[in-house]
Amino acid sequence: MCRESPTSQFTGLEVFGYLHVNSLKSQRSIKVLQFIPMANSIDRVLASAVEGQAQSPRFVQSQLSSLHAALKKEGPAIRATIESESRHTTAEIQIQYALALEAVAALFAESNLEKALEVEYWLARRESSLSHSVAYPLAYILPSSYNFFNACVTAVAAAIAAGSCVILEVPKMLSKTSELTQTTLIAALDPDVFIVVDKRIDVASLPQHSVRLFGSAEPNVVYSRTDLVPPSTRTVAIVDRAADMQKAAKAISRARFSFAGQSPRAPDLVLVDEFRIKEFCAQIAKLTSQYFATQLEVNGPSPKGTVKARIPKISAQSSNKRVQRSLFLDPEEPLPVSPVGFGTSLRGFYTREMFKLPKPEFISYSDRSRHLARLIDGNEVSEAMKLRRAAESLETKMNQPAGRAIGFFEQGILVGI
């Protein structure tokens, strides 16, 4: 059964899928929405993961290009939907959308066909590849609810750029933003390598060496070694004694109140030097009142009106434990929380290296390796002793005067200066 518009709700047994029918005469692509049994769709993606269908550089480029075009086409609808369902300002919505597009474009630019061909034929040229890595066959993504659209797009794009097939888990929710994000991704990406599910898939049924990306920490989940999990510690902002108090207060206020106060990097604790705390508190009080003034909604025709503050929403976030303890970062970019083991990316999106597994390849010995092998095979004691004496002669001394030496200041003390 097919329908022309993807407006139906997801069910537990069905997912959205698109058929791409190319007409050789008109060179047009016809997209038809059809219902595909979930089990069959998952089997297709799992089979593609085993075959490595998503690892071709040209295929990666085509998928990222299609995704970028789909996001631009649906841009007005996406921005309008986010505005209707969130408390984000217009500028914040524009930034969230723009950064998602930038992430896809940047990942597309990193997909270098010439470099991929060079790496492919390293072994044929009898060259070892020490930095070689391969994509996880399957990436199972559970996006964060914070900036949902941006979280979904950047995570899926990074996994596709790495060469992984993707299963995106999105629970059923009455959210137009969620539905529009899903339909946009499904329309843009090949159904053989991408699928959206609304129920958890058992990790045992996933291919070996699959990776799961958790946008938010889940307390009842047993994580495996390859799972990408966000930190569960709190965020601490440190204001140094030499800091510019006005800039520090502005940055902390912005982090606390921008994006409706929901940022995982909104500071839970601010540590200020005791000699500057009064100055800092004065600046923070001034800026906080300004932020609260912009967060008020006035309803009703009466002169006084009915004032509804958004303070409870913001205040409730101070107890959120799913945040990262790190050096403070300005939140102009709605950065996803980097998984444990990866440094924070200032580009504002997930990287494809997160979805790759190191796999160095060796085809030839180095001169030193051949020399050591000759010593071992021939039991050449004299040559081995030369190697030992050479290692013992290596210098590791510090160029620092001894404690008893007389330095510059000691000389002044001795002569009475």
Q: What is the pLDDT of residues 22-34, one digit of tens each?
A: 333 333 333 444 4
Name residues whose C-beta falls within 8 Å of residue 358's C-beta, 6 or more positions apart in sequence. 132, 133
pLDDT value at residue 344: 62
End-of-domain residue from the set 287, 319, 335: 335
Query: CA 330 to CA 254: how far, in whole Å?
Result: 8
Residue 279: strand, helix, or coil: helix
251 and 105 together in one domain: no
Nearest Cα to 330, choosing from 255, 270, 401?
255
| Token code pair at residue 314 | 């913001």
pLDDT by residue (tens digit) across 141-167? 988 877 889 889 999 999 999 999 999
128 and 180 together in one domain: yes
252 and 107 together in one domain: no
* Contact yes or no for 359/128 (Cβ under 8 A): no
The pair phi, psi for residue 406, each rounded to 5°, is -95, 115
Name residues whose C-beta falls within 8 Å of residue 389's C-beta, 6 or more positions apart in sequence. none
Tell me the pLDDT band of 379, cut-offs 50, 70 and 90: confident
Nearest Cα to 252, choosing from 281, 276, 219, 213?
281
Q: Which amino acid is at 110?
A: E
Does some domain include residue 357? Answer: no
123 and 157 together in one domain: yes
Tell me the pLDDT band of 341, cut-offs 50, 70 and 90: low
Query: CA 357 to CA 210: how far, in whole Å?
Result: 10
pLDDT value at residue 317: 37
Tell me the pLDDT band of 294, cut-offs 50, 70 and 90: low
pLDDT value at residue 326: 34
Which CATH number goes with the domain that contains 88? 3.40.605.10
pLDDT by residue (tens digit) across 297-333? 433 343 434 434 333 333 333 333 333 333 334 444 4
* Position 63 pLDDT exceeds 90: yes
| Cβ neighbours around 75 below 10 Å, total | 15
pLDDT by residue (tens digit) across 269-293? 889 888 888 888 888 888 877 766 5
* Position 403 pLDDT exceeds 70: no
Nearest Cα to 100, choosing from 79, 124, 128?
79
Query: CA 365 to CA 346: how far, in whole Å?
Result: 39
Which residues on neighbouring strands pair with residue 2, listed in sequence order? 34
209 and 246 together in one domain: no
More confident residue, 119 or 39: 119
Average pLDDT score over the chain: 74
Query: CA 137 to CA 355: how far, in whole Å?
Result: 9
pLDDT above 70 covers a percentage of the chain that reads 71
pLDDT value at residue 95: 87
139 and 251 together in one domain: no
Between 81-95, 348-362, 403-417, the lowest mean confidence (pLDDT) is in 403-417
| Torsion from C-alpha of 353, 101, 49, 128, nearest 10 degrees | -30
Query: CA 233 to CA 402: how far, in whole Å?
Result: 43
241 and 224 together in one domain: no
213 and 165 together in one domain: yes
Q: Which amino acid is at 405?
A: A
| Torsion from C-alpha of 213, 216, 217, 218, nearest 10 degrees | -90
Tell me the pLDDT band of 405, cut-offs 50, 70 and 90: low
* Position 386 pLDDT exceeds 80: yes
Q: Which amino acid is at 88?
A: H
155 and 60 together in one domain: yes
* Position 138 pLDDT exceeds 50: yes
Residue 417: strand, helix, or coil: coil
Location of structure tokens 């030369």: 386
Query: CA 267 to CA 253: how far, in whole Å?
Result: 9
* Owning domain of residue 77: 38-228
Name residues whose C-beta falls within 8 Å of residue 304's C-beta, 6 or more positions apart in sequence. none
pLDDT value at residue 66: 94
Does some domain include residue 370? Answer: no
pLDDT value at residue 67: 95
The pair phi, psi for residue 182, each rounded to 5°, is -65, -50
Tell me the pLDDT band of 5, cut-offs 50, 70 and 90: very low
* DSSP code per residue over 127-177: --BTT-EEE-SEEEEE--STTHHHHHHHHHHHHHHHT-EEEEE----S-HH
Radius of gyration of the chain (CA): 28
pLDDT by residue (tens digit) across 240-264? 888 888 888 888 888 777 776 667 7
Between 71-85, 125-139, 186-200, 402-416, the lowest mean confidence (pLDDT) is in 402-416
